[in-house]
Amino acid sequence: MYILTIVLTVLISILLIIVVLIQKSKGGGLSSSFAGSNQIMGVRRTNDFIEKATWTLAGIICLLSILSVFVMPSVVTGARVKPTTEMQVIKGTETSAPAPAAAPVAAPEADATEMPAAPAAE
């Protein structure tokens, strides 16, 4: 479906290019080609037809662009990088886990009996 959408977009784009190139820049369109007034389509009707064809083709391209987003395949197969669950260690770069930090040793509190008595005030 996605490839079909892309192919249709390319074909409509080519048709739009052709229709735009047929038009004259000052709105003359194909009027120079249809010089006679006894043509099946008159000059004014030819310009209207080409203008409507331009807008229609542009609208179809917009719709196909939006449609291609919805039908685009979401899973990419054949990925070049395969995920690994193991960690590879290069020889010579092995490190051991750091030792847990030792709890700081608190200063021992002296008992009240060991403290010297304050000198008596005289």
Owning domain of residue 19:
2-71
**Residue 80 counted as domain residue:** no
Which pLDDT band holds residue 54 (cuts at 50, 70, 90)? very high
pLDDT in tens, 12-40: 999 999 999 988 766 555 555 555 444 55
Residue type, 49: F
Please give the C-alpha separations between residue 39 and each of 8, 42, 49, 91, in angstroms, as whole numbers: 33, 6, 14, 87
pTM: 0.48
Using the CB atoms, write b or e for 6-45: b if 16+ within 10 Å: eeebeebeebbeebeeebeeeeebbeeebeeeeeeeebee
Percent of the chain predicted with pLDDT > 70? 49
pLDDT in tens, 79-92: 666 666 777 777 77
Provide the domain count of the chain. Answer: 1
**Residue 122 counted as domain residue:** no
Place of tokens 């369109």: 29
Range scoring the smallest mean pLDDT among 26-30, 56-60, 98-102, 115-119:
26-30
**Residue 43 counted as domain residue:** yes
**Residue 12 counted as domain residue:** yes
**Residue 85 counted as domain residue:** no
70 has a pLDDT exceeding 60: yes
